[in-house]
């Protein structure tokens, strides 16, 4: 049956070809045919693929577009704020330099001498071993320096702060155990501007070590210890009614030093007592510091001390 079919198809092809031979009356171009059957037979014989309705065609595969690589982003972490401890303001003992004389400040009104309180050490210590009434600059480095200016006028030691840092001047006696007393005031003073007495400055320290007992213009006191690089505060700034804060007020600061025991007095009243053995002997003087008043000046009327055997 298959042979008959193939022979039949061949014969049909010959017949059709004869009908479409070039130069026929139909005038068709060479190589073309308008007979669908002939076309299908020719495809079959030459092995040309025949498209059969309903058969799926080969899918055109398209390479997938590359996707954007997912990058792992770390979760946002909470920033931890670390506390930075800033060093306290440090001071360096000034050296003398040539500077312009500061503007003169008004002469403060002298407060009448009050009767000594029962708690005032001066009431029981007898006559002092040393007194300086500030009539001249003997024993003091006078003139200008990088941080302060010191002059002696009208019976006062006048110490002026020339910078924002504390500055001090020292005199020559070196003391071990003692009671030291300083009468001090400031004609112009505001807020936390401060001043006071420096003591137990080691003789070999070039004034770069020691204790500073001071008060502020708004009625606070403290005790600091300077080691040449860092300022420590064994006694923090503390308000006290013992401090006179009125205009041109005179305050008397006292320090009782016996070995490591340090007692602080203001106007004859003990305000604090601590133990500290960092420095046990040394020189003394006065200091001033502040930024509220330009050319802040303190006036020292008298310094005296009693040596404790």
Pair type for strands 148-153 and 283-289: unpaired
pLDDT tens-digit readout, 26-39? 344 444 444 444 44
Indicate whether 156 and 18 sit together in one domain.
Answer: no
Contact status, residue 274 vs residue 253, Cβ threshold 8 Å:
no
In this predicted structure, what is the pLDDT of residue 172?
Answer: 87
- Residue 36 dihedral angles phi and psi, to the nearest 5°: -60, -40
Question: Looking at the predicted structure, is the pLDDT value of residue 263 above 50?
Answer: yes
In this structure, is residue 30 part of a structural domain? Answer: yes
In this structure, is residue 151 part of a structural domain? Answer: yes
Give the CATH number for residue 173: 2.60.120.560
Tokens 């005790």 belong to 223
In this predicted structure, what is the pLDDT of residue 26?
Answer: 38
In this predicted structure, what is the pLDDT of residue 114?
Answer: 60
Map residue 234 onto helix, strand or coil: strand
Indicate whether 147 and 272 sit together in one domain.
Answer: yes
pLDDT tens-digit readout, 149-208? 999 999 999 999 999 999 999 998 999 999 999 999 999 999 999 999 999 999 777 788
Indicate whether 136 and 221 sit together in one domain.
Answer: yes
In this structure, is residue 233 part of a structural domain? Answer: yes
Of 44 and 256, the structure prediction assigns the larger pLDDT to 256
In this structure, is residue 204 part of a structural domain? Answer: yes
Indicate whether 132 and 256 sit together in one domain.
Answer: yes
Whole-number percent of the chain with pLDDT over 70:
63
Pair type for strands 130-132 and 297-307: antiparallel
In this structure, is residue 15 part of a structural domain? Answer: yes
Indicate whether 126 and 225 sit together in one domain.
Answer: yes
In this structure, is residue 37 part of a structural domain? Answer: yes
In this predicted structure, what is the pLDDT of residue 90?
Answer: 35
The number of domains in the chain is: 2
Indicate whether 212 and 301 sit together in one domain.
Answer: yes
pLDDT tens-digit readout, 110-128? 444 568 888 999 999 999 9
Contact status, residue 62 vs residue 116, Cβ threshold 8 Å:
no
Indicate whether 20 and 149 sit together in one domain.
Answer: no
In this predicted structure, what is the pLDDT of residue 134?
Answer: 97
Q: Which band of pLDDT confidence, cut at 50, 70 and 90, is reported for residue 3?
A: very low
Burial of residue 110 (number of CB atoms within 10 Å: 0-12, 13-18, 19+): middle
| Global pTM value | 0.65
Indicate whether 41 and 173 sit together in one domain.
Answer: no
Indicate whether 128 and 42 sit together in one domain.
Answer: no
In this structure, is residue 92 part of a structural domain? Answer: no
Map residue 122 onto helix, strand or coil: helix
In this predicted structure, what is the pLDDT of residue 72?
Answer: 32
Tokens 């401060």 belong to 194
Strand-pair partners of 118: none
Contact status, residue 288 vs residue 148, Cβ threshold 8 Å:
yes
pLDDT tens-digit readout, 55-97? 333 333 333 333 333 223 333 333 333 233 333 333 333 333 3
In this structure, is residue 33 part of a structural domain? Answer: yes
Strand-pair partners of 222: 214
Indicate whether 134 and 239 sit together in one domain.
Answer: yes
Q: What secondary structure does DSSP assign to 258-292, as a single string?
A: ETTEEEEEETTEEEEEEE--S--SBEEEEEEE-SS
* Chain mean pLDDT for the chain: 74
- Report how far apart, in Å, the C-alpha atoms of 3 and of each of 6, 14, 39, 42, 43 are: 5, 17, 21, 18, 19
Map residue 46 onto helix, strand or coil: helix
Contact status, residue 154 vs residue 72, Cβ threshold 8 Å:
no
Cα–Cα distance, 97 to 104 (Å, whole number): 19
Map residue 105 onto helix, strand or coil: coil
25's CB contacts (< 8 A; 6+ apart) are none
Indicate whether 20 and 159 sit together in one domain.
Answer: no
Domain that holds residue 23: 2-46
Indicate whether 42 and 131 sit together in one domain.
Answer: no
């Amino acid at each position: 049956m298959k042979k008959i079919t193939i022979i039949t198809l061949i014969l049909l092809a010959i017949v059709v070809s004869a009908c479409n031979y070039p130069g026929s009356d139909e005038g068709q171009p060479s190589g073309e045919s308008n007979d669908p059957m002939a076309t299908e037979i020719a495809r079959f014989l030459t092995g040309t693929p025949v498209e059969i309705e309903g058969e799926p065609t080969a899918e055109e595969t398209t390479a997938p577009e590359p996707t954007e690589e997912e990058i792992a982003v770390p979760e946002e972490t909470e920033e931890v704020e670390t506390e930075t401890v800033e060093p306290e303001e440090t001071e360096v003992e000034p050296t003398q330099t040539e500077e312009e004389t500061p503007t003169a400040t008004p002469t403060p009104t002298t407060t009448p001498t009050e009767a000594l309180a029962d708690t005032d050490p001066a009431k029981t210590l007898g006559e002092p071993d040393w007194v300086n009434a500030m009539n001249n600059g003997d024993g003091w480095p006078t003139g200008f320096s990088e941080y302060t200016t010191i002059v002696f006028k009208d019976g006062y030691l006048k110490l002026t702060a020339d910078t924002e840092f504390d500055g001090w001047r020292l005199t020559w006696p070196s003391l071990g155990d003692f009671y030291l007393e300083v009468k001090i005031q400031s004609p112009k003073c505001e807020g936390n501007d401060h001043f006071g007495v420096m003591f137990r400055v080691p003789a070999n320290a070039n004034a770069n070590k020691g204790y500073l007992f001071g008060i502020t213009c708004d009625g606070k006191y403290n005790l600091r210890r300077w080691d040449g690089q860092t300022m420590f505060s064994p006694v923090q700034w503390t308000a006290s009614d013992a401090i006179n804060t009125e205009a041109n007020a005179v305050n008397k600061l006292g320090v009782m030093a016996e070995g490591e025991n340090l007692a602080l007095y203001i106007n004859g009243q003990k305000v604090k007592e601590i133990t500290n053995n960092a420095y046990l002997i040394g020189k003394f003087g006065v200091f001033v510091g502040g930024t509220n008043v330009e050319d802040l000046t303190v006036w020292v009327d008298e310094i005296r001390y009693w040596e404790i055997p």
